[in-house]
Structure 1
Amino acid sequence: MPSPQDCIFCQIVAGAAPSTIVHEDDRTLAFMNIAPAAPGHLLVIPKAHATDLLDVPSDDLAASARTAQRMARRVVGVLGADGVNLVHATRPVAGQTVFHVHLHVLPRYLDDTIQGMWTPTPGDPNVIRSVGKRLRDAVERAG
Protein backbone atom coordinates (compact mmCIF):
# COMPACT_ATOMS: atom_id res chain seq x y z
CA MET A 1 0.00 0.00 0.00
CA PRO A 2 1.40 3.42 -0.88
CA SER A 3 2.06 5.89 1.90
CA PRO A 4 -0.03 9.08 2.08
CA GLN A 5 2.82 11.09 0.54
CA ASP A 6 2.74 8.74 -2.48
CA CYS A 7 -1.07 8.77 -2.73
CA ILE A 8 -2.36 10.35 -5.95
CA PHE A 9 -5.56 11.51 -4.23
CA CYS A 10 -3.55 13.19 -1.45
CA GLN A 11 -1.53 14.89 -4.19
CA ILE A 12 -4.78 16.12 -5.77
CA VAL A 13 -5.92 17.49 -2.39
CA ALA A 14 -2.57 19.30 -2.05
CA GLY A 15 -2.82 20.75 -5.55
CA ALA A 16 0.29 18.85 -6.63
CA ALA A 17 -1.49 16.65 -9.20
CA PRO A 18 -3.91 17.82 -11.90
CA SER A 19 -7.64 17.29 -11.55
CA THR A 20 -10.96 18.79 -12.55
CA ILE A 21 -12.44 19.73 -9.20
CA VAL A 22 -16.22 19.96 -9.03
CA HIS A 23 -16.72 20.64 -5.31
CA GLU A 24 -14.57 21.35 -2.28
CA ASP A 25 -15.41 21.95 1.34
CA ASP A 26 -13.44 21.72 4.57
CA ARG A 27 -13.54 17.89 4.72
CA THR A 28 -14.13 16.62 1.17
CA LEU A 29 -13.18 17.01 -2.45
CA ALA A 30 -15.16 15.92 -5.52
CA PHE A 31 -13.40 15.68 -8.88
CA MET A 32 -13.93 14.13 -12.28
CA ASN A 33 -12.77 10.56 -12.85
CA ILE A 34 -10.11 10.46 -15.60
CA ALA A 35 -11.29 6.99 -16.63
CA PRO A 36 -15.05 7.52 -16.61
CA ALA A 37 -17.53 4.71 -17.03
CA ALA A 38 -20.16 7.26 -18.14
CA PRO A 39 -20.32 11.01 -18.79
CA GLY A 40 -20.17 12.82 -15.46
CA HIS A 41 -18.51 10.00 -13.49
CA LEU A 42 -16.80 11.63 -10.55
CA LEU A 43 -15.07 10.71 -7.31
CA VAL A 44 -15.66 11.97 -3.77
CA ILE A 45 -12.89 11.69 -1.19
CA PRO A 46 -12.23 12.86 2.33
CA LYS A 47 -9.31 15.29 2.28
CA ALA A 48 -7.61 13.45 5.14
CA HIS A 49 -5.94 10.25 4.02
CA ALA A 50 -7.63 6.99 4.93
CA THR A 51 -6.94 3.77 3.06
CA ASP A 52 -10.45 2.35 2.81
CA LEU A 53 -13.86 1.96 4.45
CA LEU A 54 -12.31 0.09 7.38
CA ASP A 55 -9.83 2.90 8.04
CA VAL A 56 -11.82 6.12 7.49
CA PRO A 57 -13.04 8.07 10.54
CA SER A 58 -16.84 8.07 10.69
CA ASP A 59 -17.05 11.89 10.48
CA ASP A 60 -15.08 11.89 7.21
CA LEU A 61 -17.21 9.06 5.85
CA ALA A 62 -20.40 10.97 6.73
CA ALA A 63 -19.06 14.15 5.10
CA SER A 64 -18.14 12.15 1.98
CA ALA A 65 -21.63 10.64 1.83
CA ARG A 66 -23.20 14.12 2.04
CA THR A 67 -20.96 15.37 -0.76
CA ALA A 68 -21.73 12.28 -2.84
CA GLN A 69 -25.46 12.94 -2.43
CA ARG A 70 -24.97 16.55 -3.51
CA MET A 71 -22.99 15.44 -6.57
CA ALA A 72 -25.62 12.80 -7.42
CA ARG A 73 -28.25 15.53 -7.45
CA ARG A 74 -26.03 17.54 -9.79
CA VAL A 75 -25.45 14.77 -12.33
CA VAL A 76 -29.19 14.15 -12.46
CA GLY A 77 -30.15 17.83 -12.59
CA VAL A 78 -27.36 19.16 -14.81
CA LEU A 79 -26.51 16.19 -17.05
CA GLY A 80 -29.93 14.57 -17.17
CA ALA A 81 -28.75 11.22 -15.79
CA ASP A 82 -31.62 8.79 -15.36
CA GLY A 83 -30.13 7.37 -12.15
CA VAL A 84 -26.93 7.12 -10.13
CA ASN A 85 -24.81 4.33 -8.68
CA LEU A 86 -22.73 5.11 -5.62
CA VAL A 87 -19.83 2.64 -5.70
CA HIS A 88 -17.06 1.89 -3.22
CA ALA A 89 -14.47 -0.89 -3.10
CA THR A 90 -12.36 -1.87 -0.10
CA ARG A 91 -9.19 -3.83 -0.85
CA PRO A 92 -7.96 -5.25 -4.14
CA VAL A 93 -10.16 -8.34 -4.09
CA ALA A 94 -13.18 -5.99 -4.17
CA GLY A 95 -11.70 -3.92 -7.01
CA GLN A 96 -9.92 -1.13 -5.09
CA THR A 97 -7.02 0.24 -7.16
CA VAL A 98 -6.34 3.58 -5.43
CA PHE A 99 -5.73 3.21 -1.72
CA HIS A 100 -7.37 6.40 -0.49
CA VAL A 101 -11.01 5.83 0.42
CA HIS A 102 -13.30 7.16 -2.31
CA LEU A 103 -16.85 7.00 -3.55
CA HIS A 104 -17.65 6.78 -7.24
CA VAL A 105 -20.67 8.85 -8.20
CA LEU A 106 -21.59 7.05 -11.41
CA PRO A 107 -24.37 8.60 -13.50
CA ARG A 108 -26.55 6.05 -15.24
CA TYR A 109 -28.42 6.60 -18.48
CA LEU A 110 -31.20 4.50 -19.98
CA ASP A 111 -29.02 3.67 -22.98
CA ASP A 112 -25.74 2.92 -21.17
CA THR A 113 -24.19 -0.53 -21.32
CA ILE A 114 -22.50 -0.65 -17.90
CA GLN A 115 -22.87 -4.00 -16.20
CA GLY A 116 -21.35 -4.70 -12.80
CA MET A 117 -17.82 -3.39 -12.34
CA TRP A 118 -16.53 -1.46 -15.32
CA THR A 119 -13.04 -1.57 -16.80
CA PRO A 120 -11.45 1.85 -16.35
CA THR A 121 -10.25 3.33 -19.64
CA PRO A 122 -8.94 6.86 -20.08
CA GLY A 123 -11.52 9.39 -21.15
CA ASP A 124 -11.15 12.43 -23.40
CA PRO A 125 -9.56 15.10 -21.14
CA ASN A 126 -11.37 17.92 -22.93
CA VAL A 127 -14.75 16.28 -22.44
CA ILE A 128 -13.95 15.53 -18.80
CA ARG A 129 -12.95 19.17 -18.16
CA SER A 130 -16.05 20.47 -19.96
CA VAL A 131 -18.46 18.26 -18.02
CA GLY A 132 -16.61 19.06 -14.79
CA LYS A 133 -16.99 22.78 -15.45
CA ARG A 134 -20.73 22.37 -16.00
CA LEU A 135 -21.07 20.49 -12.73
CA ARG A 136 -18.78 22.86 -10.80
CA ASP A 137 -20.61 25.95 -12.05
CA ALA A 138 -23.98 24.43 -11.14
CA VAL A 139 -22.75 23.68 -7.62
CA GLU A 140 -21.49 27.24 -7.19
CA ARG A 141 -24.83 28.70 -8.29
CA ALA A 142 -26.68 26.42 -5.87
CA GLY A 143 -24.46 27.52 -2.99
Structure 2
Amino acid sequence: MSEAYDNDNVFAKILRGEIPSHKLYEDDHTFAFMDIMPRGDGHCLVIPKSPARNILDAEPVVLAHVSATVQKLSRAVMAAFSADGVTIQQFNEPAGGQIVFHLHVHIIPRFDGIKLRPHTGDMEDQDVLAANAEKIRQALTA
Protein backbone atom coordinates (compact mmCIF):
# COMPACT_ATOMS: atom_id res chain seq x y z
CA MET A 1 0.00 0.00 0.00
CA SER A 2 1.09 3.61 0.29
CA GLU A 3 3.78 5.14 2.43
CA ALA A 4 3.15 7.07 5.65
CA TYR A 5 1.72 10.58 5.54
CA ASP A 6 4.39 13.30 5.43
CA ASN A 7 3.47 16.26 7.67
CA ASP A 8 5.91 18.45 5.72
CA ASN A 9 4.22 18.15 2.31
CA VAL A 10 3.37 21.45 0.63
CA PHE A 11 -0.39 21.20 1.26
CA ALA A 12 0.12 20.48 4.97
CA LYS A 13 2.26 23.61 5.06
CA ILE A 14 -0.50 25.59 3.32
CA LEU A 15 -3.01 24.35 5.91
CA ARG A 16 -0.69 25.48 8.72
CA GLY A 17 -0.25 28.90 7.08
CA GLU A 18 3.47 28.33 6.46
CA ILE A 19 3.05 28.80 2.71
CA PRO A 20 0.66 31.42 1.29
CA SER A 21 -2.26 30.45 -0.93
CA HIS A 22 -5.19 32.09 -2.67
CA LYS A 23 -7.93 30.71 -0.41
CA LEU A 24 -11.34 30.22 -1.96
CA TYR A 25 -13.32 28.35 0.66
CA GLU A 26 -12.84 26.78 4.06
CA ASP A 27 -15.04 24.82 6.43
CA ASP A 28 -14.35 22.57 9.42
CA HIS A 29 -13.18 19.71 7.21
CA THR A 30 -11.88 21.08 3.91
CA PHE A 31 -9.85 23.88 2.35
CA ALA A 32 -10.01 25.08 -1.28
CA PHE A 33 -7.45 27.27 -3.03
CA MET A 34 -6.07 28.19 -6.45
CA ASP A 35 -3.63 25.86 -8.18
CA ILE A 36 -0.45 27.90 -8.71
CA MET A 37 0.36 25.96 -11.90
CA PRO A 38 -3.08 25.98 -13.55
CA ARG A 39 -3.94 23.94 -16.61
CA GLY A 40 -6.84 26.31 -17.28
CA ASP A 41 -8.28 29.58 -15.96
CA GLY A 42 -9.94 28.97 -12.61
CA HIS A 43 -8.06 25.71 -11.87
CA CYS A 44 -8.37 25.13 -8.14
CA LEU A 45 -7.83 22.41 -5.55
CA VAL A 46 -9.80 20.96 -2.66
CA ILE A 47 -8.00 19.24 0.20
CA PRO A 48 -9.09 17.73 3.49
CA LYS A 49 -7.83 19.36 6.67
CA SER A 50 -7.13 15.93 8.13
CA PRO A 51 -3.92 14.16 7.12
CA ALA A 52 -4.52 11.72 4.28
CA ARG A 53 -1.84 10.79 1.76
CA ASN A 54 -4.45 10.01 -0.91
CA ILE A 55 -7.76 8.26 -1.57
CA LEU A 56 -6.23 4.92 -0.59
CA ASP A 57 -5.78 5.83 3.07
CA ALA A 58 -8.46 8.49 3.61
CA GLU A 59 -11.36 7.69 5.91
CA PRO A 60 -14.72 7.48 4.10
CA VAL A 61 -16.08 10.45 6.06
CA VAL A 62 -13.10 12.53 4.86
CA LEU A 63 -13.90 11.61 1.27
CA ALA A 64 -17.52 12.59 1.83
CA HIS A 65 -16.52 16.06 3.08
CA VAL A 66 -14.06 16.51 0.21
CA SER A 67 -16.70 15.44 -2.33
CA ALA A 68 -19.23 17.93 -0.97
CA THR A 69 -16.70 20.75 -1.25
CA VAL A 70 -15.66 19.64 -4.74
CA GLN A 71 -19.30 19.90 -5.82
CA LYS A 72 -19.65 23.37 -4.23
CA LEU A 73 -16.46 24.63 -5.92
CA SER A 74 -17.37 23.02 -9.25
CA ARG A 75 -20.62 24.95 -9.33
CA ALA A 76 -18.80 28.16 -8.39
CA VAL A 77 -16.09 27.85 -11.08
CA MET A 78 -18.72 27.04 -13.71
CA ALA A 79 -20.57 30.24 -12.78
CA ALA A 80 -17.47 32.41 -12.25
CA PHE A 81 -15.98 31.62 -15.66
CA SER A 82 -19.20 30.91 -17.62
CA ALA A 83 -17.67 27.50 -18.31
CA ASP A 84 -19.20 24.87 -20.55
CA GLY A 85 -18.09 22.05 -18.26
CA VAL A 86 -15.70 21.06 -15.51
CA THR A 87 -12.94 18.47 -15.28
CA ILE A 88 -12.35 16.82 -11.90
CA GLN A 89 -9.01 15.04 -11.46
CA GLN A 90 -7.59 13.09 -8.53
CA PHE A 91 -4.29 11.17 -8.64
CA ASN A 92 -2.96 8.45 -6.32
CA GLU A 93 0.66 7.37 -5.85
CA PRO A 94 3.49 8.17 -8.29
CA ALA A 95 2.36 5.61 -10.87
CA GLY A 96 -1.07 7.27 -10.81
CA GLY A 97 0.39 10.73 -11.39
CA GLN A 98 0.36 12.00 -7.80
CA ILE A 99 3.08 14.57 -7.07
CA VAL A 100 1.97 16.10 -3.73
CA PHE A 101 1.20 13.40 -1.18
CA HIS A 102 -1.79 14.98 0.56
CA LEU A 103 -5.20 14.00 -0.83
CA HIS A 104 -6.30 16.68 -3.28
CA VAL A 105 -8.86 17.07 -6.04
CA HIS A 106 -8.32 19.30 -9.07
CA ILE A 107 -11.28 21.31 -10.38
CA ILE A 108 -10.73 22.82 -13.83
CA PRO A 109 -13.38 24.87 -15.67
CA ARG A 110 -13.62 23.75 -19.31
CA PHE A 111 -14.68 25.46 -22.50
CA ASP A 112 -15.84 23.95 -25.78
CA GLY A 113 -12.96 23.73 -28.24
CA ILE A 114 -10.23 24.70 -25.72
CA LYS A 115 -7.75 22.04 -24.59
CA LEU A 116 -6.15 21.91 -21.17
CA ARG A 117 -2.79 23.62 -21.00
CA PRO A 118 0.11 21.22 -20.43
CA HIS A 119 1.50 20.86 -16.91
CA THR A 120 4.81 22.65 -17.39
CA GLY A 121 5.70 23.43 -13.79
CA ASP A 122 5.54 27.17 -14.54
CA MET A 123 3.77 29.24 -11.90
CA GLU A 124 0.95 31.60 -12.89
CA ASP A 125 1.27 35.32 -12.23
CA GLN A 126 0.05 36.06 -8.68
CA ASP A 127 -2.18 38.92 -9.88
CA VAL A 128 -3.94 36.56 -12.30
CA LEU A 129 -4.43 34.00 -9.52
CA ALA A 130 -5.76 36.69 -7.19
CA ALA A 131 -8.25 37.95 -9.81
CA ASN A 132 -9.44 34.43 -10.61
CA ALA A 133 -9.76 33.63 -6.90
CA GLU A 134 -11.92 36.71 -6.40
CA LYS A 135 -14.24 35.64 -9.25
CA ILE A 136 -14.70 32.24 -7.60
CA ARG A 137 -15.23 33.70 -4.12
CA GLN A 138 -17.90 36.02 -5.56
CA ALA A 139 -19.63 33.05 -7.22
CA LEU A 140 -19.57 31.14 -3.92
CA THR A 141 -21.49 33.92 -2.19
CA ALA A 142 -23.96 34.54 -5.05
TM-score by length of 2: 0.91
Shift in Å at residue 138 of structure 1?
2.6
CA contact (8 A) 2:4 2:53 kept: no
- Distance, in Å, in 1 between the alignment partners of 2:25 and 2:93 is 26
- Distance, in Å, in 1 between the alignment partners of 2:62 and 2:5 is 19
1:113 aligns with 2:120: no
Shift in Å at residue 122 of structure 1?
1.7
Any runs of at least 4 consecutive aligned residues in structure 1 with deviations exceeding 6 A, and if so which?
A: none
Answer with 120-129 or 100-109: which moved more: 120-129
3-state SS of 1:84 partner: strand
**Counterpart residue type for residue 25 of structure 1:** D
Greater share of residues in helix: 1
- Distance, in Å, in 2 between the alignment partners of 1:53 and 1:17 is 24
Correspondent of 2:51 among 38, 49, 52: 49
3-state SS of 1:5 partner: coil
The equivalent residue for 1:33 is 35
**Counterpart residue type for residue 119 of structure 1:** H
The equivalent residue for 1:130 is 131
Q: Name stretches of at least 5 consecutive residues in structure 1 with no aligned partner.
A: none
CA contact (8 A) 1:2 1:99 kept: no
- Distance, in Å, in 1 between the alignment partners of 2:119 and 2:131 is 22
Correspondent of 1:15 among 14, 17, 20: 17
- Distance, in Å, in 1 between the alignment partners of 2:73 and 2:65 is 12
Correspondent of 1:98 among 71, 85, 100: 100
- Distance, in Å, in 2 between the alignment partners of 1:5 and 1:91 is 16
**Counterpart residue type for residue 109 of structure 2:** P
- Distance, in Å, in 2 between the alignment partners of 1:16 and 1:74 is 27
- Distance, in Å, in 2 between the alignment partners of 1:136 and 1:14 is 21
Q: Name stretches of at least 5 consecutive residues in structure 2 with no aligned partner.
A: none
* CA shift digits 1:83-105 (9 cap, x unpaired): 00110000111110000010001
* CA shift digits 1:49-92 (9 cap, x unpaired): 11011011111111101100111101111111110011000011
3-state SS of 2:50 partner: coil
CA contact (8 A) 1:84 1:106 kept: yes
What RMSD, in angstroms, separates the aligned Cα atoms of the two structures? Answer: 1.6
**Counterpart residue type for residue 92 of structure 1:** P
Q: Alpha carbons of 1:125 and 1:111: their partners in 2 closer, same or farther (altered >3 Å)? A: farther
